[in-house]
Structure 1
């Protein structure tokens, strides 16, 4: 059984960074990307991942030093990728704190197998479920129950919902959602809006009047953590529709 793990990828090659991120997200993990040491530290302090995939040679610093810094911050796993393939290089990386070391170039199947092995070691750090009002988010099987009924989500929709749930009801801007829920660097905020609409169609009683994924004007979106009385909501909607009359124009 595959466990969803929060993974930060620190890789100077943008193509490889995006490729690894895509494969990991397809495997069910929550992925965050960084292209150098400074960005890696910022992402780490914001997201506190369970596993960091770390390039040993970064454009703005030394991956070995970053590895040591990461290990001082919290208990986590570091998977080092490197073009340095001598025994001395591997030993140096492991002594710097890396839990695994893979030399470039490498096969994607071996990479994913090693990630799976490391993920099993990180499972005690992860909760099995997130309960958010009417929703139960299964982090192990990446499934969603809304009012005890299963809802089929795409990997991207699940990542978006997970990031909103982690915010604890606080609003997140579109840019924050792009940074946290998407594996690639995407600058178009409409991407978020499109996925929010798709998500609402699957989980809302009335997508035109969303109660779970709420819009916060001039900010972005938030997740409503209060349970919704569905029957009461329907009764109120019916009553309003039945008894309301068109308002007269005031001239």
Structure 2
């Protein structure tokens, strides 16, 4: 998932960029409005309002006029009037500095869910078939007997196949909390892994989170050999 970070404070930009990368995002940086507007389309834009060459609200309007990219204001302007002005001028969400990475990541996921049309029916991810409407899942055509939280974890990982999904993000998505409940996440993830069977599809990225490592489709090179 590509994120464009538009921030002229170099120290803050570097710290935020590092934090986003640890959570599996691909991050592009821009320190001016001109540079931001020259970047090719991304999945979400984190846009500071106090840029040196142009106000962030003008930049948001310019971006909005040419694409439907999700745009989140990340700014020190915290008055109600500032928030209202930002939301009325095209921002999908508004985050006031200082903020926690847990909050920012949750807001990124929320605006992306709103920005993308809801998928109807089952989705196919590698050998898995997952139906968000019914809460059912299959591997290679065989049904999986998943508990409700296990299915929610699988769905959260399947929305970003191949990408690392942070522990805090999973806790927010599945438990609506950042409290781990004494390894609750690990216990449920272990049970989910067991039910998915072999070869294993879920990888642990130490200190960060988990990844649904779906094998890429490839031709069977042995087929047709004598």
Q: TM-score, normalised by structure 2?
A: 0.53
Alignment partner of 2:162 out of 143, 160, 165: 143
**Counterparts of 1:102 and 1:51, CA distance in 2:** 14
When the two chains are superposed, the root-mean-square deviation of aligned CA atoms in Å is 3.7
**Counterparts of 2:124 and 2:4, CA distance in 1:** 21
Larger RCO (alpha carbons 8 Å, 6+ apart): 1
Q: CA deviation at 1:123?
A: 4.0
Q: CA deviation at 1:107?
A: 2.1
Q: CA deviation at 1:124?
A: 3.5
Alignment partner of 1:30 out of 26, 32, 45: 26
Structure (1/2) with the larger helix percentage: 1
Q: How many residues align?
A: 150
**Counterparts of 2:24 and 2:13, CA distance in 1:** 17
Cα contact 1:129–1:139 (8 A) shared by 2: no
> What do the CA deviations read for 1:135-191 (whole angstroms, capped 9, x no partner)?
xxx9834339xxx9979798xxxxxxxxxxxxxxxxxxxxxxxxxxxxxxxxxxxxx
Is it true that 1:93 corresponds to 2:75 in the alignment? Answer: no
Q: Given the superposition, is the C-alpha separation of residues 58 and 130 from structure 1 closer, same or farther in structure 2, using an over 3 Å criterion?
A: farther
Query: Which consecutive unaligned segments of at least 5 residues does structure 1 have?
Result: 132-137, 155-202, 204-226, 236-251
Give the equivalent residue in structure 1 for 2:133: none
Moved over 6 A (4+): 128-131, 148-154
**Counterparts of 1:67 and 1:112, CA distance in 2:** 20
Query: Which consecutive unaligned segments of at least 5 residues does structure 2 have?
Result: 127-156, 164-198, 206-214
Give the equivalent residue in structure 2 for 1:63: 56
**Counterparts of 1:93 and 1:143, CA distance in 2:** 34
Alignment partner of 1:16 out of 8, 12, 18: 12
Q: CA deviation at 1:228?
A: 6.5
- Looking at CA atoms only, which structure, 1 or 2, has the larger radius of gyration? 1
Give the equivalent residue in structure 2 for 1:183: none
Q: TM-score, normalised by structure 1?
A: 0.48
